[in-house]
Amino acid sequence: MPLPDRPVPRGALAYLWFFFVSQARWAFAAMLVLGGVTAVIEASLYVFVGDLVDRMQAGGRDSLCETTAWPLP
């Protein structure tokens, strides 16, 4: 890769933007979106498991399926 015509930026974020992000903007944007979607899915799984544990603690073992409709809302 040839050296750029303009001088290298001084800040760390400017350096990263200049050499890495600007060369693959769409790939970087896709990576950010995919990471965000993955984080939301993971957080929703923790919420679901927490809700499931709360429902299991609220009722007895024998009546869990009778009192809770499957699939859980």
Q: How confident is the model at residue 12 (pLDDT cuts 50, 70, 90)?
A: confident
Integer Cα distance of 50 and 44 in angstroms: 10
pLDDT for the residue numbered 2: 67
Backbone angles phi, psi at 62, to 5 degrees: -70, -35
pLDDT for the residue numbered 43: 98
pLDDT digits (tens, 9 = 90+) for 20-72: 888 888 998 999 999 999 999 999 999 999 988 887 787 766 666 676 666 55
Nearest to 65 by CA among 56, 57, 10, 54: 56
